[in-house]
Each structure stands twice: as structure tokens, then as C-alpha cells.
Amino acid sequence: MSRLIALLLFFTFPAFASDCPDWAEDTARTRIGELQERVSQWDAYYHSLGRSPISDELYDQHLARLQRLRNCFPGTGVVAGHALASAKGPLRHPVPHTGLDKLADEQAVVAWLKGRGEVWIQPKVDGVAATLVYRGGKLVQLISRGDGVHGHDWSRHIPALPGTLRELARERDLTLQGELFWRLPDHVQAQAGSLNARSKVAGLMARQRISAQDAARLDLFIWAWPDGPQDPAQRFAKLAALGLPNSEHFSQPVASFADVARWRQHWYRSPLPFASDGVVLLQSRQPPAARWQAGSSHWSAAWKYPFAKALAEVRAVDFRIGRTGRITPLIHFAPVRLDDRQVRQVSAGSLQRWRELDIQPGDQIVISLAGLTIPQVDEVVQRGARDNAVTPPQAGDYHALSCWQPVPGCQEQFLARLEWLAGKQGLDMPGVGPGTWRKLLEAGRLDSLDGWVGLQADDLLGIDGFAERSSQKLHDAFLDARTQPFSRWARGLGIPAPTRLPLGDSWASLAGRSVERWQEEPGVGPLRARQLVAFFEHPQVRSLAARLGEQAIEGF
């Protein structure tokens, strides 16, 4: 269904934390005014040109944020815009268009279902809403939804519409409300998104004239027959007999929340002939059409699909330094849901991209799932006050040979080295993860990468967070690691050699190789050869190897 219906009760939509920003009144007035102006421009652009510069789901989230900020700062004096003000037309609808409450989550759906009788579910088709008036089975009037009471006359487009929409299978006088949509054969919403399908229809309707070829892929989903049969099954069957079968094909009775959740998932992930952005719940008993009013209706509600894109407010930015010295900015924000996953942080990818985006606490960003799995930052849509701007680490201070000890500024990379050493590519130490190394470091028991090798069970017992049993298990893991073969130790220490290259059984045999000798090995080019020589010649690495030899570690 069109965005216009979705606007009516945007304030129930969950997207943001309920806490208010710590803004001065002047700052709040400016920020809320900027957001109000942006939303008003989007409304005017959509209603005048039939095109939207922003996706429906992001529009809804901006609108929800605007309402939240107004509630946070009621004294700013920023006048609330009317989303449908520019949509009002000169023609009065025979029956007003009602809107849809938005159900925030599973709990809201359960609450809505409670105490209701027979309920049906339909996909929430992503198109444009209209009133269709038939006389003697022929479509004689087509009215845009407008503000729900008055709309624009689209009747000039009737001759171009497909024949199945222009003329019913029987000579009937009736008034219908429904969604003009763009047919998308075998469209899977979870994979492809809405593909701007609604805007295609809105753009066509905004033209003065359209050709039959332009309109060939238009279709109709009827969601209201004001004076039709009260029983939904009868209503859908009669519409199908009139040549309008979509309502019957895509309507199902539901008896429980489990039924609702199952159909929502099914339609979200299965091929459909249209884009959709959620499901609609309809109770069978509806009031007479004479009592319908523009606004929300108590007999229907929408439960949207998970966001494909989400608006998030940045709470913090920190910088993770990896084992090789790579700096990765991490953006933290209030939790949002993407494809039924709750996301709290996202990587900016690289320090360079973070600088290009210039993301700081207080900024509003758009995130999405790359490849349907990995959160990513798409853009910054509004800058924060920059009162708490963060400064990144100096990239030149970190590289593949830095931070072999936890000196100031080196803890992150040092811990990353330990995590790699204990991982599957290294010593494969069970139960030893980042938290283990951080506790040992905070307890002052790690002054070098091999500082744990000589620790005894009693040394571990006094460390906060290690009970007697866990201390013994950790000590057993340390003892087992000491007996691992040389090749595992070498890989764990981060030798920059190709994975499949045999490393032999002696550190000395590797440390004595020249650049030319390394290039004789398969997969080792000039650059890799220089990296290997630099690794073995680094004073910290040589000192580490000597200490491991003193601990009688194999190969050292």
C-alpha cells in the first residue's frame, strides 16, 4: 500500500532509542527545523512530481525521529508539517480512505489480535492508493488518495490502463479502493527490496498522458470494497469473479500470532508479482462505509517487514587496531533491526573511508546489510553538533611489526597478536579468547607475547575473574600449547609466509634466509620476501624467539 497510508500513524514505528539528545534549546530548535524542512521538501517533491527522493522505510524513520525530537523539546516552537497537505486534490472521494495503525513488534501484534474474532492477512502491496468508480462494469473515475478525503482526478489515464482494469467481467456499479502496483514477476522482497516500484507507478500517474505501452505492467490490488459483502471470503470471491483476483489469491485467514508470523515470513521470502513492505491484518467485522473517516481504522493494522535500510544515531566511534596494524573504525549506535537482526555497531571499513564519511558521535547515518548479511554504512544524512569529536590513531604508528609489547597505545594490537596466537591458525588453545588475554593484561601478568608461557596455576588463581577450576583449565591449555609443533608456533607468531608454504622445524633455518633465498619458495615474490626478512630481523621478534628457546619450545 502507498506511503501515504503509512504516514498516518508514524509515531508508533520503532526505530530509535527513547532517550533524548542532550541539546540546548537553540540547538534543538535548529536541528528540528532542519529535519522538518527536509521532510516537507520530500512531501512536496513526491506529491507534485510523483517521485520520491528517499525510500519509504527511511522516510518513515525520519518522520518517527522528527516526532520523537518534538516530544523531547516541546518548547522549540517548530510548527509540525502536514505530510498530506500537498496531496489534497479537488475531488472528494465517495468514501474516505482510512489508514493503518503500524504494529511495532511481535508483542504489538499479539495485543492487536487479542479479543478479535475472524482475522485475515494480506501482503501490504507497495504501490499508490486510489479510488476506482465503476458504472455498468466500466471504470469511469480514478481518484488519487490525496489526503484521504480529497484527491486528484487521474481519470485521464483510464484509456491507457490494461483492459482487465478498465472493464469488469460483469456489468456492476461499485466503488473500490485499492493499490495500483507495478507487476514484478517472481519478485522476492527479502532479496531484491522494492526496486522503486511504487515511484514508477506514482511517476506515471503524475504525467498528463501515458500510453498503453507505459501502463501495460500496471495491476490492481483491492483492499476495500466499502459497500461490498461483509464476509471477507465472499468479498474476495466476488472480486475475483469480476476479474480482480489478486485479493483472493493473496488473502489468508489467521487464527493466531503463529499464523501471522508464518505468512509474513512466507510473503517476505517467496516470489510474488509485486513489491510489498509488510503485511496487513483485517478483522472481518467492519463498520458501515458511512462511518469511515480519513485516519487510522480500528479494524486493520500493518506489520512491516524488517528494514533493509535503517536510520541510526551514532553514540560513539572507536578504533580497533588489528594484528597487522590495520586500523578499523567501529561505529556504535542505538540498536536497530535489519532483516530481523538487531545491530548495534558497524565497521566503517577503513580509516580512509571513515575520514571521507567524517562520522562523529551525534551524526545520523543510514546502514544496510551488504550481501544480506554484513552491516555497512551507506551515508551520513545529518551531522551532529561535533561537541565530542573523536580523533583517530596515527596510522603511521601501527604496522605489521609494531606493538610486540603492551606499551601505551599498543594494547589493542598486542591483544590482537595474542588472539591470533591462540586461534585455530596458531596454537588452537581451547577456551582462550580475547577476554582471557585482557584479564591477564589488566592483572599485570603479560608484559610480552610470551609472558603467559611460564605462568603457574597458582599465578592464575589470584586474578580477578578466574576461579580455581577455570584457573586450572587455563593452565592446562597453556601446558598443552607449549608442546605444539614448531609450525603452529611460527604461524601463530605471525610469520608473513604463504599459508601452504612448509616452514620446516627450526626458527634458525628461517631467520637466516636472504631475500633471494625466500624468493625461491613457491608463492613468495619480491615484496613478500622483503617482508619476511624484515620480520626475522626485527629486534622485538629476535628477542621473542630467544625467550621461547629459553622456555624449551620446540624449534626455537
Q: pLDDT tens across 494-552, in order? A: 999 999 999 999 999 999 999 999 999 999 999 999 999 999 999 999 999 999 999 99
| Active-site residue flag, 238 | no
- Span 317-345, pLDDT tens digits: 999 999 999 999 999 998 888 877 889 99
**pLDDT, averaged across the chain:** 90
Q: Which of 121, 6, 98, 125 is nearest to 61 (CA)?
A: 6
Cβ contacts of residue 470 below 8 Å, gap of 6+? Answer: none
| Per-residue pLDDT at 474 | 92
Domain boundaries, the chain: 3-87, 91-304, 309-396, 397-550
Residue 85: pLDDT above 60? no
Query: What HEC string does 195-245 produce?
Result: CCHHHHHHHHHHCCCCCCCCCCCEEEEEEECCCCCCCHHHHHHHHHHCCCC
With H, G, I as helix, E, B as strand and everything else as coil, classify residue 381. Answer: strand
| Residue 432 pLDDT grade (very low, low, confident, very high; cuts 50, 70, 90) | very high
Tell me the CATH class for 91-304: alpha beta
Contact 499, 477 (CB under 8 A): no
| Per-residue pLDDT at 101 | 87
Least confident among 58-62, 121-125, 226-230, 486-490: 58-62
Q: Which of 240, 245, 130 is nearest to 176 (CA)?
A: 130
Cell representation of residue 543: 628477542
| Residue 22 pLDDT grade (very low, low, confident, very high; cuts 50, 70, 90) | confident
Task: Count Cβ atoms below 10 Å from residue 449 Cβ, excluding itself.
Answer: 23
Domain range 309-396, its CATH number among 3.90.180.10, 3.50.50.60, 1.20.120.330, 2.40.50.140: 2.40.50.140
- Span 414-428, pLDDT tens digits: 999 999 999 999 999
The active-site residue out of 124, 200, 238, 304 is 124
Residue 406: pLDDT above 50? yes
What mean pLDDT is predicted for residues 81-110?
84
Cα(149)–Cα(155) distance, rounded to whole angstroms? 17
| Per-residue pLDDT at 9 | 36
What mean pLDDT is predicted for residues 128-135?
97
Q: Going by CATH, does the domain composed of 397-550 fall within 1.10.150.20?
A: yes
Residue 12: pLDDT above 60? no
| Residue 372 pLDDT grade (very low, low, confident, very high; cuts 50, 70, 90) | low
- In angstroms, what CA-CA distances link 370 with 154, 338, 367, 386? 39, 11, 9, 28
